Amino acid sequence: NADVAMYQAKARGRNNFQFYAPSMTGEGVERLLIEAMLRRSIEKNEIYLQYQPQVEIDTGRLIGVEALVRWQNPELGLVPPARFIPLAEDIGFISQLGKWVLAEACRQMVSWQEDGLQVPKLAVNLSVRQFERGSVTLMVDQVLRETGLEPQRLQLEVTESVIMNTGDTLACINDLRAVGVGLAIDDFGTGYSSLAYLKQLPVQTLKIDRSFIKDISSDANDEAITVAIIQLGKSLNLSVIAEGVETAEQAAFLLRHGCNRAQGFYYSQPVGADELLAHWGRRHERDVAIIEG
Ligand code: C2E
Ligand code: MG
Ligand code: MG
Ligand code: MG
């Protein structure tokens, strides 16, 4: 129909595509259509996950994967999460979507294990809106029980805005720790967290935002910020991982400054579950063969 066609044209015509037409008439209709499509996306099997490896820089070992949600709609094409996650939050669909993502990813961890690939850790993103209903701990606990994944192998990623929310959210974070799952602060350095607060929080990992990593070798400020975050992690006894590592130089820089964990296109794009198994499962066999031979 016309509204969807307009959206598609816009999506094709620009890098920075948007959901909403600028015209007063099209706007409301188009939004409603896309909302309706999003609400039905799970039942229509349009939602799936990709997994991006996290590696130890000096050994190249797989230390974990981050699950990243995808929406492939027949009319809209592949919609990036930066577009539909905020929409899912607005229309109250994020809890349902978040639960689906967590359950699917946990099932996949168990399934890889059955196929002989032990992925040490699973990272899953949680939206700040998932904390507002207060039931996030129950949901996580239920999914872990149903799938049989050990809580220590799950790490939930939240942004600084979640961390700095007072009241309920902090109580939720403490409850989640009691369940035994780990917590990471995603996109660290881009938000507003107080260092004093950070010290008290039950968080184990800082993820350096990829905006700092991007120009590490050419921008003195980004270099200084990255080194400072690594140091901060050391002093607070937190593990630090860099995201958005795209080059060998960036990886070498991180290693030199005491950060031995990375995630980014230099190692791998996010890939499907089978591809991850094919690559890292085979790699494992090869390692074993080398040891035996
Ligand atoms: P994020 O959690 O910070 O995830 C990392 C994003 O960086 C991913 O984008 C990933 O594809 C991208 N990336 C990884 N390595 C590189 C690299 O070397 N260079 C560049 N330029 N990009 C890299 P993606 O998959 O589009 O996800 C964007 C954001 O959407 C995520 O950022 C996260 O905030 C959100 N998101 C994704 N999946 C979920 C989910 O299941 N639930 C929630 N609540 N949010 C999600
Ligand atoms: Mg993340
Ligand atoms: Mg991030
Ligand atoms: Mg990010």
Q: What pLDDT, on a 0 to 100 scale, did the predictor assign at position 9?
A: 47
Query: How close is the Cα of 292 to the center of ligand 2, in Å?
Result: 37
Which residue is it, tokens 């040891």?
291
Does residue 191 contact residue 160 with C-beta atoms inside 8 Å?
Answer: yes
The answer to whether the CB of 80 is under 6 A from ligand 1 is: yes
- How many Å apart are CA 96 and CA 85, to the nearest integer? 12
Q: Classify residue 84 as exposed, middle or buried by CB count within 10 Å of its CB (0-12, 13-18, 19+).
A: buried
Q: Is the pLDDT of residue 68 over 70?
A: yes
What residues have CB less than 8 Å from 152, skipping those under 6 apart? 180, 181, 182
Total residue count of the chain as it appears in this document: 293
Tokens at 139, concatenated:
């949901």
**Tens digit of each residue's pLDDT (9 = 90 or more) over 179-199:** 999 999 999 988 877 777 787
Tokens at 129, concatenated:
């809106």
The answer to whether the CB of 69 is under 6 A from ligand 1 is: yes
DSSP state of 277: I
The answer to whether the CB of 184 is under 6 A from ligand 1 is: no
The answer to whether the CB of 78 is under 6 A from ligand 1 is: no
Tokens at 48, concatenated:
């799936």
- Among 38, 125, 140, the mutation site with the greatest number of ligand 1 atoms within 8 A of its Cβ is 125
Residue type, 289: A
Nearest to 191 by CA among 160, 232, 154: 160
DSSP secondary structure string for all residues of 35-74: HHHHHTTTTTT-EEEEEEEEEETTT--EEEEEEEEEEEET
**Tens digit of each residue's pLDDT (9 = 90 or more) over 22-64:** 555 567 888 899 999 999 999 999 999 999 999 999 999 999 9
Displacement of CA 190 from its chain's centroid (Å) = 16
- How many Å apart are CA 26 and CA 41, to the nearest integer? 22
Nearest to 3 by CA among 70, 75, 67, 92: 75
Ion ligand 4 neighbours, Cβ < 5 Å = 187
State whether residue 186 is helix, strand or coil.
strand
Tokens at 119, concatenated:
């992925």
**Tens digit of each residue's pLDDT (9 = 90 or more) over 259-289:** 999 999 999 999 999 999 999 997 655 555 5
Q: What is the dihedral of CA 71, 74, 76, 80, to 10 degrees?
A: 20
Does residue 89 contact residue 127 with C-beta atoms inside 8 Å?
Answer: yes
163 or 287: whose pLDDT is higher?
163
**Tens digit of each residue's pLDDT (9 = 90 or more) over 228-239:** 999 999 999 999
- How many Å apart are CA 192 and CA 185, to the nearest integer? 12
Residue nearest to atom 43 of ligand 1 (CA): 125
Query: How close is the Cα of 124 to the center of ligand 2, in Å?
Result: 7
- How many Å apart are CA 95 and CA 257, to the nearest integer? 39
Q: How confident is the model at residue 202 (pLDDT cuts 50, 70, 90)?
A: confident
Residue type, 78: L
- How many Å apart are CA 85 and CA 69, to the nearest integer? 9
The answer to whether the CB of 53 is under 6 A from ligand 1 is: no
Q: How confident is the model at residue 134 (pLDDT cuts 50, 70, 90)?
A: low
Residues in a beta bridge with 47: 71
